[in-house]
Amino acid sequence: MERKNYQAAASGQAIGIKKLLNNRLTGIVLVLICMIVVLSLATDSFLTPNNLLSIMNQASLKGILAIGMTFVIVGAGIDLSVGASMSICAMFLADFLVKYGFEKIWLAVLVCFLAGTACGLINGLLAAYLKLPEFLLTMGTMSIFRGFDYVYTNCQTIRGMDPRWINFWNAGIPWPAIFMMALAVAAWLVIKYTKYGRYVFAVGGNENASRLSGINTKKIKCVNYMVMGWCCALCAIVYVGRMSSAEAAAGDGFELTAIAAAAIGGASLAGGRGSIAGAVIGALILSVLSNGLTLLRVSSYYQTMFTGVIIVVAILIDRFTQKD
């Protein structure tokens, strides 16, 4: 009798642990907490206010793009052009701010979002309506967009922002984090309470069944890439705000961090599954890791390698949970 009770208790514990492991959001929160504890013990400068603000600023750029990438990945797509798209948006924003001043900031922001919409629409139309392989397609548009950046700027950095623009971002208010959290709340509401949000998951889970049930799968895929373009535009605003400049090489490598953050947060690269909260926490994990390695004086080359390892591990975890 005691043996049966022991086996039942052990079985219950195993099931509880398995449920905990399968709950991706709980798992990554625990990982983030462990990282913070370890790094705070490893270096005295980690928990300083300035360093925590720096982490939030870094996480904001990653998080904004990861939120947009979550829509694309959940819809069974991928976008490798986000870094170059963000650079185009930043380039137009900075150029219009320099040319027309702070009084026409609305025009600069409008052009920035139009550029993001155009980049997303190009990817969306080609992927959804011409059914081009999205990995190769966005790799190609990444090169096109990046080349356009260099041609437009003539490889020169755009500087000379209005002091009022600079003062706005340096006023001590964590605007990047505020923008990221506002976007996260808006994205969560869209996914939770709109038809579009439900359709994104349906199309990513089974595109053929979704089409047969009457969902316009092509339109959903196209809109997913447009959402990614809008997130690139918002990221560009934060980037130009922080840097007070823009250059053609801006956003290089951002596509990998966006994919990594979304994957860490539970977005299945096969489509049909993902989490906005998970994407934000994934961005925080990457930022804490990068910041911690910098404080520990670990080479940036290792940081790039660790990002790749994280993507591979996230894919393996996704495969494991899918089998279960």
In the chain, which residues have pLDDT < 50? 5-6, 8-10, 14, 17, 21
Q: Looking at the domain assignment, is residue 39 inside a domain?
A: no
Q: Looking at the domain assignment, is residue 301 inside a domain?
A: yes
Cα separations (Å) of 322 from 31, 56, 204, 210, 271?
Answer: 21, 32, 14, 20, 11
Query: What's the total number of domains in the chain?
Result: 1
pLDDT at position 59 is 94
pLDDT digits (tens, 9 = 90+) for 134-153: 999 999 999 999 999 999 98
| CA atoms of 79 and 65, how far apart (whole Å) | 11
Q: Looking at the domain assignment, is residue 11 inside a domain?
A: no
Label residue 128 exposed, middle or buried (CB < 10 Å: 0-12, 13-18, 19+): buried
pLDDT at position 269 is 85
**What pTM did the predictor assign?**
0.89
Sign of CA dihedral 284, 290, 292, 294: negative
Cα separations (Å) of 67 from 60, 62, 191, 260, 274?
Answer: 10, 9, 11, 11, 10
pLDDT at position 307 is 72
Q: Give the domain extent around 276.
A: 25-30+44-323
The SS3 assignment for 246 reads strand
First to last CA, the chain: 31
Instruction: Please provide the size of the chain in residues.
Output: 324
pLDDT at position 321 is 65
Q: Looking at the domain assignment, is residue 110 inside a domain?
A: yes
Whether residue 47 contacts residue 40, with contact meaning beta carbons closer than 8 Å, is answered with yes
Q: Looking at the domain assignment, is residue 4 inside a domain?
A: no
Query: Which CATH number fits the domain that encloses residue 306?
Result: 1.10.3470
Q: Looking at the domain assignment, is residue 15 inside a domain?
A: no
Q: Looking at the domain assignment, is residue 147 inside a domain?
A: yes
Q: Looking at the domain assignment, is residue 9 inside a domain?
A: no
Sign of CA dihedral 220, 270, 177, 190: positive
pLDDT at position 173 is 86
In eight-state DSSP terms, residue 249 is T
